[in-house]
A and B are shown apart, each in its own frame.
Chain A
């Protein structure tokens, strides 16, 4: 039993390390690639590795949603738009102002350092061991119960947000088209 669980632990570690590396690498790639098309592809990888991490965190349903909705639908939309824009999508890599660029990077590093510091301060006690989880943790059933129970309002508001987003997208397209006709 101990061996089996040890083997499982090692397996999980391996998966985690791979996923983490993929996550960070693809993240950097998104930011650093010059071509938005490549960046988008990197983001898909990023989202995929995130889904793996979600699985490791016993969030099966979210992982599935991540892959289907995000990596699937949303990213496809991205790619379509990038393809539609074609060459115009290419943009200069960096800001015109060097000072802003440096300040931006420094700020991000400081922010990172601060957050890591906070996590480190808590790593010993608060974050040292996770709570025990039950069988159904992260299952669609439980999430469904939560969504339609305690968080019904949030659920409804989310749907409303989606609806408004969709309407907004349509309107943005429509006004532009009319503008073109007038031209």
Chain B
């Protein structure tokens, strides 16, 4: 295999995942939270594809494609919710949504 070993890709994936997670945890804009989520999913995808290469097993790529499907669906629903919120004149701030309070 040319270039760095799979371990390097995995480290990249881990950093990307941590970045995305931090984004989800500290941003208040639902749009950015959604974007950060995409980062996390893609980090996962990267790890999957790296492992697929490691074991020469295309199953990992299939899995990655399935994740993409899920991500796309999630974006559709997430964006739909955001648009709905905006139409209902709800403030676009995650911290403003405290209906789940126990």
Contact = CB atoms under 8 A, between A and B. Distances in A.
Interface string B49-62: 11011111011011
Nearest to A173: B80
A165 B77 contact: yes
Main secondary structure on chain B at its contact with chain A?
A: helix
Contacts of B2: 5, 8-9, 12, 56
B16 to A, nearest CB: 5
Interface residues of A, number: 97
Contacts of B84: 172-173, 175-176
Contacts of A89: 29, 31, 92
Given A53-B46, A127-B10, A173 B83 contact: yes
Interface residues of B, number: 74
B56 A134 contact: yes
B38 A169 contact: no
Interface string A28-53: 10110100100110010011001001
Interface of B: 1-12, 14-23, 25-32, 34-36, 38-39, 42, 45-46, 49-50, 52-56, 58-59, 61-62, 64-66, 68-77, 79-84, 86-88, 92-93, 95
Of all A-B residue pairs in the complex, the 4 with the closest CB atoms, nearest first, are A91-B29, A165-B73, A104-B25, A31-B23
Interface of A: 5, 8-9, 12-13, 15-16, 20, 23-24, 27-28, 30-31, 33, 36, 39-40, 43, 46-47, 50, 53-54, 56-59, 61-62, 65-66, 69-70, 73-74, 77-78, 81-82, 84-85, 88-96, 100-101, 104-105, 107-109, 111-112, 115-116, 119-120, 122-123, 127-134, 137-138, 142-143, 146-147, 150-151, 154, 158, 161-162, 164-166, 168-169, 172-173, 175-176, 179-180
